[in-house]
Amino acid sequence: MELKEYFQSYRDYFWEWNTDEDVSEDTGYSVNNTIYFSTLKTTVAYRSYIIDVLKELKIQGWPPFGSLLLVLYATQDGYLDMNSLFSEIKKNSERQELDDMIVEAREFLEKLQSLSHVYKKGQNRIILFHTIFNENRACISSDKAELLYRRYLRMPHLIGESANKKAFSLEVLQKDIRTLALANRKFPTMQSIVDAIRGFTKEPELDDEVIEDETTVETDKDFIQELIEESKTFQVGSLIKRIWSGLKIPMRHLSPGEQSIGGISDMTNKGDLHRMLLSEFANEDEVFMSRIANNEALYIQREIPPEENIFERIILIDTSLKNWGTPKVLAFASTIAIVKHPKAHSGCKVFTLGQSSMPISLDKVEQVVENLNQVSGNLDVSEALENFFQKEQKEKNLEVFFITNEENLSNQNLQKVIQENRDRLKFVVTTSVNGELNFYKHHNGQRKHIQKIVLPLKELWSNPPKKKFANKTETSQKGAKMPVPLNYPLLFPTPKQRIATFLYEGDFYILSNKKQLLKTYLSDNYYNKSIYQNTRIHRGCEVVVENISVKPRGQFSLARNKAGNYILCQYQTDKKILSKLNLTTKEYSELNVTGQNIPLNFELIYFDRSFYLYQDQFPTIFKINIEGNISIEQIKNDDKIAKSYIRNQVEIGRLENGGVNILSNFGKIGINEFEELVVSKLALAQQHEKVFSFEKNKYDIEVLASQSKNKYTFEDGSEIITDSRGMLTCISSNKKIPVFYIPAAQNGYLALSTEKDFGGSEYYLPQKALLKIREMDDMYSDYLESFIKHILEYGTEN
């Protein structure tokens, strides 16, 4: 089904597309924006609302469009003319079977009509639609609905083609009515619909009244108290009530009507005769007529009560470097004070401005914690502010607040953007490190200072809540294991335990005990021979293939076929089984070579695009193919093979004693009282100048991370993801600290790397890395030390 077909209208049918010129939409497509029932001469719904309903229903599939329109009509308030509607529908029926379904459809709509208004308002109405159309076999699938919805978002004008009526189709009527008839059989009584609604929602029951969105003092106080009691948001929460007590910006806007109410100002010289003052009739006829003709007679103006204009508020928070620290705390406290003010009834959206504008929510403590850590590397947000105003809609009832550090207002670029958009930027709020808030309002093109609030930060922040500290690591085995990448910006430590080692085309490979194919390196290029004694030649490794299905027995050899896939050949000498495994496609073939009488001292090797079972003392050897299914043939021995074999054995010997002890069982992770990272019973400490390694921990652990599978989380939200192949990924809740990586190897000099920088042992530096090389001391200070200090500052007791 295509989008045009779903919304198609038909001649002589009960509904049609119509246009209301007074309605505008964000899509810019302003025609065919209503559904009109011509027989009833009534508009049933606007297109924007119908699309909103379909957006909600796409997760379970869409009902036929006519079915949805009938349900929308049946759930409207006011008088419903079902008789006229179904007379119009029934005249198109041509079969008794269809007449019976029409009766059932009407019966179902009358049940909906009789439902309490509670179930037909707001979100409850959407839940009702979900309920009655759920698992209805006449509906189109959720996947198809998702495709149609996306197509509408891209091309809303296609409805214009659907509005061109086609000749009536009995199949369309049957589809629309059948859907409702099936629903009627599923819900035989009105109570069954109510019961299904309550079962459909996750709430225990629906309220007796329609819940209106409102901000109550009690609810906000509860939320503010939660902020105060949480150590990470205490500074923000403790300021909000103090800001409330002094805040003077208007929380709702009133339009006073045509005239003032009461008194002399309520009189006018224009009006209806029945509103004329009685004193005017006391004049003589000539004078009376003259006063009327010259608009001098006095009338009582009809009293018009003040009307409330609902403004949509948008608050923009500067997250540039100059608005970090205390000014950032004041900015978020001011934002929450405006959004959650007990008298604030207008809608409010919040965006952070950095390199771009990002919508955020501040309804939960966790959201406040997360967004407080947002920081942009920009020195000013003028570009993001300008882009916001260029993209944002330009309605007259839009009221924008911009909150920034007072020092930023001296920036010329920012001044220019503020001046150009002063008609929509109604308020500018500035913050400072000493707790001063200044409110400015743009009025008639000029910025006017309207209020200053000085917050006693030392007093308000003098009694922070005691921060939680877990004496034991909280371990959870629920949830999925955190995924880890195949490789990292730096190399893995090379394992000591291995099944086999290969030299292929000048590159070294290792088949590890964890059944991984690893690629490693040897190098004579090292930084400091006096420090990196054992690692001046050996290097770490990168993972080529994981989860190789192979038994660790017999002999192995490695090659690549013409397609570039790695081929692992295995010879089980005890069973005389020769096999070949394509590590990319997983294709496997084996051959029993018992009848070949292969001597026990033959070795499996690679040479010149083939595998061989080889012994230099024998005149004939066995050749094994790389391409296709495995096969073997006996050939004459060649001196070139012997020379290649000897050379390879010498090179492979250089890898001996090159592995390190890898930490794979991480146990507890925390920070000790000497502010060192502790993994299991080892602490990452400085051993010599510019040299760091994991050694036995000598100090008490001050902070422990809670564990969930391979993720360890500290109380400030910082995380460490462990990889049993030998890597730690450190993710700070402070977004200024980039993600960085540390090899998890014991008794070896370590490195630290981000996606851009590298410091430490060259052992972990990839051969073709584009990383910037820095001193390990600087890397430790900038990344790991900052990571630890942030945890101690925000996630432990003072």
CATH of domain 221-252+308-459: 3.40.50
**pLDDT above 50: residue 209:** no
Strands (E), 312-397: 312-318, 348-353, 357-360
Report pLDDT for 223.
84
Least reliable range by pLDDT among 186-195, 305-314, 476-485: 305-314
Confidence of residue 606 (pLDDT cuts 50, 70, 90): very high
Confidence of residue 208 (pLDDT cuts 50, 70, 90): very low
Q: Would you list the domain boundaries of the chain?
A: 3-200, 221-252+308-459, 258-305, 498-653, 661-795
**pLDDT above 60: residue 306:** no
DSSP 547-583: S----S-SEEEEEE-TTS-EEEEEEETTTTEEEEEET
Report pLDDT for 266.
65
**pLDDT above 90: residue 138:** no
Confidence of residue 663 (pLDDT cuts 50, 70, 90): confident
Least reliable range by pLDDT among 285-299, 512-526, 538-552, 666-680: 512-526
Report pLDDT for 206.
37
The residues facing 592 across adjacent strands are: 577
H-type helices in 362-510, by residue range? 365-372, 382-391, 412-420, 457-460
**pLDDT above 70: residue 257:** no
Q: For 739-771, how does the pLDDT look when each residue is reduced to its tens digit (9 = 90+)? A: 999 999 987 789 999 999 999 988 899 988 889
C-alpha to C-alpha distances, 109 to 52, 77, 112, 680, nearest whole angstrom: 21, 13, 5, 66
**pLDDT above 70: residue 682:** yes
Q: How far apart are the C-alpha atoms of 543 and 282, rounded to whole Å?
A: 106
DSSP 518-529: EEEEE-S--S-T
Contact 428, 447 (CB under 8 A): yes
Tokens describing residue 507: 């590159």
Report pLDDT for 137.
82
Tokens describing residue 703: 């902070």
Least reliable range by pLDDT among 253-267, 432-446, 662-676: 253-267
CA angle 774, 779, 784 (to 5 degrees): 165
Contact 606, 557 (CB under 8 A): yes
Report pLDDT for 447.
82
Residue 786 CB neighbours (<10 A): 16
Confidence of residue 429 (pLDDT cuts 50, 70, 90): very high
Q: How far apart are the C-alpha atoms of 780 and 677, rounded to whole Å?
A: 11
Residue predicted with more confidence, 684 or 299: 684
Least reliable range by pLDDT among 224-238, 521-535, 719-733: 521-535
Report pLDDT for 786.
93
First to last CA, the chain: 64
Q: For 16-27, how does the pLDDT look when each residue is reduced to its tens digit (9 = 90+)? A: 998 877 666 666
CA angle 577, 583, 586 (to 5 degrees): 75
pLDDT more than 90, % of the chain: 26
Least reliable range by pLDDT among 469-478, 503-512, 538-547: 469-478
Q: For 334-368, how does the pLDDT look when each residue is reduced to its tens digit (9 = 90+)? A: 899 888 887 766 668 888 888 788 888 888 888 88
What average pLDDT does the chain have?
Answer: 82
Report pLDDT for 527.
42
**pLDDT above 90: residue 505:** no
Q: For 689-704, how does the pLDDT look when each residue is reduced to its tens digit (9 = 90+)? A: 778 899 999 888 989 9
Average pLDDT for 54-79:
88
Report pLDDT for 528.
42
Average pLDDT for 285-313:
72
**pLDDT above 50: residue 89:** yes
Taken in order 744, 519, 514, 713, the sign of the CA dihedral is: positive
